[in-house]
Structures are given as structure tokens and as C-alpha cells.
Structure 1
Amino acid sequence: MKKNRKMVHMALLISIALVLHYFEHFIPPLAPGAKLGLANIVTLVCLNMFGSGEAMTIVLIRSVLGPILGGSPTGIMYSL
């Protein structure tokens, strides 16, 4: 039961990170080439809740799925 609970929490954190990653495109950049990095908040929450391994998993999944769902599959190269 505990393993399922952890998997559900990870899935929810990934989905929240993807939503924040998507909405970040609508916020104008503060400086040229700089992004606000709202999805990194979810990474910090995961780091606090689970540890560094799970936080790295969220970062990698967000870095792959974010550009694909956001409309720019070539953006994967820039996010990793």
C-alpha cells in the first residue's frame, strides 16, 4: 500500500510540475533568455518529501514530457 501511495504522490507532483511548466510560457521573461522556473518549486517539494532520487526522477520526466506536450519536441535538447 505504501508503494502505491508514493507512486500516486509522484504522479501528482509530475502533473503539477508539467502544468506549471506550461503556464510559465505565458509569463513574459524578466530578462532576455531567463525563465522564472516555477516548475522547480515542485522539485524542491519532492526533494523535501522523498529525497534526491525521486526529485531527479521528477526533473527528468518533466524535462522530457514538458517540451513534447508544450509543442516543441526539439526543446528536449535544451532542457537536459
Structure 2
Amino acid sequence: MPLAINSDFEEVLEPFGRESANFFLAAALYHAHKLSFAAAASLADLSFEDFAARLREHFGTGFRLDEQVVEEDIHTVEALAHP
């Protein structure tokens, strides 16, 4: 399926660089919980670090921390610390 983008976006995206549409689409899908961080970075054709930096630059934060994931990590650490 070919992707069609509204031509009015060209002027808006131009200051952000040639591949900005890929970045903003990947970032939007990441923030909507449709893509993992790694998948979004890959689709944006950016390294892990570069994708995080661009997210911080444009959205104020590099990673989205979900409460459920944080709670799972806390339980994992507690289990490892107190076997």
C-alpha cells in the first residue's frame, strides 16, 4: 500500500530535514503505544541514542515509562535482591 502524505506537510517538515516525516510518524506510533522504542528507532532509520535525542528535542522526553513496566521492574529487582 503506497503511503500518501498531505503535500501541505512538506513546508512544515522542511526545516526538520529530509527524513523528518519518518521520525515524526515513528515517534507518534511509539507515543501511541503501537511500536516499541527499538522498532520506532529502526523505522525512523536512527540509532537508539539518536532516536532518544530527537524525542527529547521535539517532545521533551526520550523514553515513555509505563507504570506497569516500572512495577514489573521493581518486583524483579526485589526478587533478585531477596531470593
TM-score range, shorter chain: 0.3 to 0.5
Asked which structure has the greater CA Rg, the reply is 2
Structure 1 length normalisation: TM-score? 0.33
Which structure's residues are more often helix, by fraction?
Answer: 1
Normalising by structure 2, we get a TM-score of 0.33
Q: Which has the higher contact order (CA 8 A, sep 6+)?
A: 1
